[in-house]
Amino acid sequence: MTNGLSQERWLTAAECANRTGLTVRALRVYEGHGLIAPRRTGKNWRLYGARDIERLHEIMALKRLGLSLARITQLLAGRSSDLAQTLDLQKAALIEARERAERGLSLIAAAQAKMSRGETISTSELIDLVKETSTAQSKQDTISWRRYEQARPRIECRIDPALLDDYAGHYRFDFEAVMTVTRTATGLRAQLSTQPALDIFAESETQFFYKAVQAQITFVRDRTGAVNKLVLHQNGLDMDAERIDAATMQTLNAQAERRVREKIAYPNGAAVLRGLIQRQQQGDPAYEQMTEGLAAVVRVQQPIVFELLAELGAITTLDFKGVEAGGWDVYDVYFEHGCLEWSLAMSRNDKVSGLVFRKL
């Protein structure tokens, strides 16, 4: 009779260290922090199996993102390895590294070409070279490990019910969405614009988490002690929302309803959308025109989107169709070899906060 354990390939400490690129000392350190728990033989030799290798893979992915061992221990405490999540984290980091390398090589080639012609490299070009060739942790690395941290299990705790009343209210994000937090008989419920309202649960006196999605909310007080904003932690991002009063909320709702009812497009929305699509077709997405959250999503999806748009050819016309209930402008975009429906959302600072398409 056999089982999964007896069929598993076990490695000695030396074999494990050699095949993972670690040292035996590092394995002992991780064990000492409770991150791995190798099997012991009758002679007390350590043996490392598949679960240990998965956890080592997870540890090395987090170390690559610049996290300290203490922080990694805190993140992984009480949770089993999640290989799928670790691979997603590494994929995002490697895509960002590839893009940075390509941008850096392009800048270096341009600088070398100018120097060969006897031209001077400008201060602006030198700054770009420093930024793109730096080995410092990238923004996408930070987003990747935040996404990882946001996915860890949360433990609900009890807090003074009187605190919950302080948090109820409306909070406005830069990307034109509003979070409404309401008091319920058992706690708090949060609703982001037109999305469903979901219960949130206390992790501390100021930090709350969703059970339905991998996201958390932190409430922030000003110097007087009043709650003046919240921070939504989701998709590897920390998004601030300032508190607004009921009157401001009513005004925003009225403006949104009018845009939908009268089909009022964003000013210059068609030109913005055309430019974004053309930049994506060139393999150079206009990240500088996007909010941080949208840019993070586009970076991951760009290789697939690039291939699709390349097959469609040049844009011929854009037809504005109207405004969705959620406030997104909708366009039919015709290309030389097909048509896609695109939806566009803009933030208060004229950054593009939402960009999706579907085949017609």
Shared-domain flag, residues 138 and 173: no
Please tell me the predicted confidence (pLDDT) of residue 78: 67
Q: Does residue 155 sit within a domain? A: no
- State yes or no: pLDDT of 328 exceeds 60: yes
Count up the domains in the chain and report the number.
4
Are 325 and 314 a contacting pair, CB within 8 Å? no
Most confident of 98-112, 141-155, 200-214: 200-214
Q: Which tens digit of pLDDT belongs to each residue from 59-97?
A: 887 777 667 788 788 777 766 666 666 677 667 667 766
Please tell me the predicted confidence (pLDDT) of residue 244: 96
Shared-domain flag, residues 100 and 175: no
Q: Which CATH number is 230's domain given?
A: 2.40.128.50
What lies within 8 Å, CB to CB, of 120 at 6+ separation is: 114
CA-closest candidate to residue 249, choices 241, 238, 239:
241
Shared-domain flag, residues 106 and 121: yes
Q: Which tens digit of pLDDT belongs to each residue from 5-48?
A: 445 689 999 999 888 888 899 999 999 988 888 999 888 899 99
Q: Does residue 248 sit within a domain? A: yes
pTM of the model: 0.62
Residue 303 domain boundaries: 263-359
Shared-domain flag, residues 106 and 192: no
**Token pair for residue 166?**
């302080």
CA-closest candidate to residue 98, choices 286, 302, 236, 307:
302
Q: Which CATH number is 331's domain given?
A: 3.10.450.590
Q: Which of 45, 76, 107 is the last residue of a domain?
A: 76
Q: Which of 209, 236, 258 is the last residue of a domain?
A: 258
Shared-domain flag, residues 172 and 252: yes
What secondary structure does DSSP assign to 136-167, as a single string?
A: SPPHHHHHHHHHHHHTS--------THHHHHH
